[in-house]
Amino acid sequence: MKTMFVGSVAALALALVLLVPDVSWAMEIDEKEYGNILEDPEFIGEEVTEQSEIEKILFTEYRKRRNKHFILETSYDMEAAKDYISFCEWAYREFLKWCGKDPKTYELWNTRAHVAIIANKAEWECLMRARNKGRPPHELERLKNIGGQWGPSFTINYSREGSTADQDKLNVFHSLNHLFCHGLAKSGHDGIIWWLWESFAKMREIDVFGTCGPGCINFETHAKTKEDRAWNDIDDWVTLLKRDVRTKQDEDFILFWHKDVMSIQNKTYVKGWSIIRYLTRRDKEKEQFVQFLEMLKTKSDQGRAMETVLGLSPDELDKKWRRWIKSQPSRWRKRRRR
C-alpha cells in the first residue's frame, strides 16, 4: 500500500523563500486541517457499487466514491479512494480561492467530473486503446506512455510503477488544473490553448508543492541535448529565460500561442509559465487574468480576450513580458532541504 497523503503533507508543502515582492510562491497546507478533511463526509463522499465504464473495459474491480464535484475510482483500497477524492475536492476549492471565487457559492461545473487512478500499466494501455479508437498509432503510443489523459469532464492518470502516492497526486493535480480551466471558461475540447493550459498547471504545481511533475509533456525523457537538460531544473528557469531574452533566443509569443502540445518546445513552456507569472504578479492583474480565462470558450477566443481584458495584443504582451523578466532576480525560490 502506498504512503498516505496525510502523513506527507508537510513534505509536499515545501516552505519557499520569497525573493520577489509581487510574486506569491507558496500556499501553506495545514496538515491538521487536511486530516480533518479526510474525516468529512462532504469531502470523502459515499461509496459507489455500480460497475463503471472503465471496469467494463478492463474487467477489473475498482473502488469508487463520489462527492458533490467528483466521482473517483482506483484499484487501491477504500482508504486510498477516500484520500484521493478528498485531495481532488481540496484542489477544486483551492483553485476557486486562487481565482477569488467563493467555493460555497460558485461552482465550476454542474455535474461530477470523473477522475480515475490506474495503478497497472497493462490496464492503462488497454484503457488508452479502448478510449482512443481511430487515432493514429503515434498518438496512441504517446498516450500509452504519457501517464495521463484529460478532457473537459474527466482526468485519468496512470500511477507509474515505483511512484509514491505524493508523486501520483502531483500528476493528478496537474490534470485537475486543466479541468478547472475548462470549468472556469465553460469550454469543451475546442477550448484547449496548449501553452496556457500546460503552463498554468505547472505554475499551480510549483506554487502549491514547490516542484512539478511531467504533466502532459515530460521534460526529462524529451531532453535529448545538454541544452534541453538545462531546462529540467526549475530553480534555474528564470536565469535561463533572462539569458535567452538577452541573446534573443526566446521564441516569439505570436509563434507558439496557437501551437498544439507536442509542437511546443520544453523551454517555450517555461516561457509560458513565466508569462502567466507576469499576468498574475499582483492581485489586480490576477483578477484580470481570471477574467481572461473566463472568456476562453474556444481556442479562437484568445486574441479577443487579450485585447478586451488585458488590453494587449500578442506582440505587446511579449514586449512587456521581456522588459519585466529582465528586471527579475535570477532565482524566485530556493528549496529547503529536509
Q: Residue 273 has what pLDDT?
A: 97
Q: Residue 19 has what pLDDT?
A: 27
pLDDT tier at 147, thresholds 50, 70, 90 = confident
Residues 6 or more apart whose CB falls under 8 angstroms from that of 136 comprise: none
Domains of the chain from N-terminus onward? 29-186 (3.40.30), 219-326 (no CATH)
| The dihedral formed by the CA atoms of 156, 147, 186 and 313, expressed in degrees to the nearest 10 | 180
Q: Residue 87 has what pLDDT?
A: 95
pLDDT of residue 170 exceeding 80: yes
pLDDT of residue 2 exceeding 70: no
Select the more confidently predicted residue: 224 or 19: 224
Residue 61 corresponds to which cell in the numbers above?
474491480
Contact call for residues 259 and 282 (beta carbons, < 8 A): no
Q: Assign 184 to helix, strand or coil.
A: helix
Select the more confidently predicted residue: 51 or 165: 51
Cβ burial, residue 338 (10 Å; 0-12/13-18/19+): exposed
pLDDT digits (tens, 9 = 90+) for 83-139: 999 999 999 999 999 999 999 999 999 899 999 999 899 999 999 999 999 999 988
Query: What's the gap between Cα 161 and its chain centre?
Result: 21
Q: How many CB atoms lie within 10 A of CB 194?
A: 21
pLDDT digits (tens, 9 = 90+) for 235-276: 999 999 999 999 999 999 999 999 988 889 889 999 999 999
User: Can you tell me the distance from the alpha carbon of 131 to that of 197, in angstroms, rounded to the nearest whole number?
Assistant: 22
Query: For residue 52, what is the DSSP state?
Result: P
**pTM, two decimal places:** 0.87
pLDDT digits (tens, 9 = 90+) for 180-224: 999 999 999 899 999 999 999 999 999 998 888 877 876 665 667
If you count them, how many residues does the chain have? Answer: 338
Cβ burial, residue 109 (10 Å; 0-12/13-18/19+): middle
